[in-house]
Structure 1
Amino acid sequence: MHPVEFLPGETVHLRHFQRDRLALVFPYRVIEANDDAVILWAPAGTQGWLFTMPDGRGIAQTPLPEWSAAARVPVRHTVGHGMLIWIPYGRDYSVRWFFHPDGSFVRWYGNLEAPSVPWRSGDAAGLDTSDWDLDVVVEPDLSWRWKDEEQFTARLAMPESYWVDDADRVRRAGAEVIALAEAGAFPFDGSWCDFSPDPSWPPLPRDLPEGPPRM
């Protein structure tokens, strides 16, 4: 049994770290949870936080050595699409279903990342991971493409500042996602594409939680 159990309907916060610095925090509602994976949901309009430079610059506007060395501050960010996420424990990726605000399915997104670590701290709960930048976009017809290859390659050339230290591992994770898509296997088998949230669910919280240090 996984050391942290999540309950359907509860709120968890997904946190992305870049080494020991927070980069992103977003609230989600637990849809399903078991020992192997958790499925999370956030509707269009959900607010989370991106961590930026104190002067407001994001990572795209900041040299990577400066970005990685700086203390960063949270800035509210609103997502314009609904998102369902399947997070399989122990895997080097998660898979996301994107939905239009009207509830219709858009596409899948294979997010390559460190295996998520679940946590509880007081009244807060969440999962911690590190985003590896390179991703795989999968369309409804199961065609796929790599995303952010140039950015990934450029950052690998600055290992003293980059939080990714094993490019081969990242590409192997992408190849696993691609193989699932080409086979039409879960999560690319049509499951959850017609997902509809329970209209009685309350809005997700809008406050930045007090979570533990990086797990």
Structure 2
Amino acid sequence: MIPGETVYLRHLQRDQLGMVFPLQVAENRNDGFLLWAPAGTQGWHFDMPDGRNMSATPLPEWSGTPRRVPATHRIDHGLLSWHPCGADYSIRWFFRADGTFYRWYANLEAPSVVWRDAGFTGIDTADWDLDVVVQPDRSWEWKDEELFTARLRFPDAYWVDDEDRVRRAGREVIELVEAGAFPFDGTWCDYRPDPDWPAISEVLPAGVDRVTAARASHAT
């Protein structure tokens, strides 16, 4: 991956695609990679055939129904996303329209898998729902704990099957936060993308929605 290149982050839910979101490569390092998306970037959720989204659909029906038609969504903030190699989380920086950093967001998820196919680059993971929100003063709180607990009651439909691993990842993040350690030490809080990078396309590339293998589908 090279700086400025567009990559497509895919969230997999068992053998189905839940989301595709384009970002640009900011840094590709030995210990991970850093991605950027400006405010207004468009991504795609894959909802039910009748238009219902995940929050409006019982989980067994959601997981058992083929979902092929993408629904667009946009972010209203700048997003910098750090994906450390082999980690059970990514760390996101949120920026206001004027470039001011205002929050970290620890997304607990399966380790990222990078792949190339049909002329584009993808990154696969599985979003584990439970997250940690961190303010600039490093105060923190769990997010979506009730949702996470509720979905665990459906083991045949949920893409998380190791609750302890997810919570352990969250505790690992919290230890870094409380220590003021990287990436919660101020690194990249003043980040600015290269102004010469091309704009991110709003067209979903043909074939990026193929799921040939659930590379990151479970928390095992």
The bucket for the TM-score relative to the shorter chain is over 0.9
TM-score, normalised by the number of residues in structure 1 = 0.95
- Choose 170-179 or 26-35, whichever is displaced more: 26-35
Letter aligned with residue 152 of structure 1:
F
1:68-107 counterparts in 2 under 5 A?
68-72=63-67, 73-107=69-103
Residue 36 of structure 1: CA displacement?
A: 2.0
Q: Spell out structure 1 runs of 4+ moving beyond 3 A.
A: none
Residue 200 of structure 1: CA displacement?
A: 2.1
Q: Secondary structure of the residue that 1:38 maps to in structure 2?
A: strand
Residue 205 of structure 1: CA displacement?
A: 1.4
Mapped partners of 2:73, 2:152: distance in 1: 27
Contact 2:4 2:198 in 1 (8 A): no
Mapped partners of 1:99, 1:19: distance in 2: 32
Mapped partners of 1:186, 1:36: distance in 2: 12
Residue of 111, 114, 119 corresponding to 1:118: 114
Q: Which residue of 1 aligns with 2:38?
A: 43
Mapped partners of 2:30, 2:78: distance in 1: 25
Contact 2:26 2:193 in 1 (8 A): no
Q: Deviations over 1:181-212 (max 9, x none)?
A: 00101110001011112222221011213235
Residue 159 of structure 1: CA displacement?
A: 0.5
Mapped partners of 1:89, 1:75: distance in 2: 30
Mapped partners of 2:33, 2:195: distance in 1: 21
Q: Which residue of 1 aligns with 2:156?
A: 160
> Given the alignment of the two structures, is residue 197 of structure 1 paired with residue 193 of structure 2, yes or no?
yes
Q: Deviations over 1:17-68 (max 9, x none)?
A: 0011001101110010023200000000001101111111111110111001
Percent identity at matched positions? 64
Residue of 145, 149, 169 corresponding to 2:145: 149
1:19-38 counterparts in 2 under 5 A?
19-38=14-33
Matched residue pairs, number? 210
TM-score, normalised by the number of residues in structure 2 = 0.93
Letter aligned with residue 89 of structure 2:
Y
Residue of 61, 64, 70 corresponding to 1:66: 61
Q: Secondary structure of the residue that 2:136 maps to in structure 1?
A: coil
Q: Deviations over 1:125-153 (max 9, x none)?
A: 02100000000000000000000000000
Letter aligned with residue 163 of structure 2:
A
Residue of 168, 171, 174 corresponding to 2:170: 174
- Choose 38-47 or 49-58, whichever is displaced more: 49-58
Mapped partners of 1:177, 1:158: distance in 2: 26
Letter aligned with residue 55 of structure 1:
D
Mapped partners of 1:92, 1:202: distance in 2: 31
**Greater RCO structure (CA 8 Å; 6+ sep):** 2
Q: Secondary structure of the residue that 1:71 maps to in structure 2?
A: coil
Q: Secondary structure of the residue that 1:165 maps to in structure 2?
A: coil
Letter aligned with residue 142 of structure 2:
W
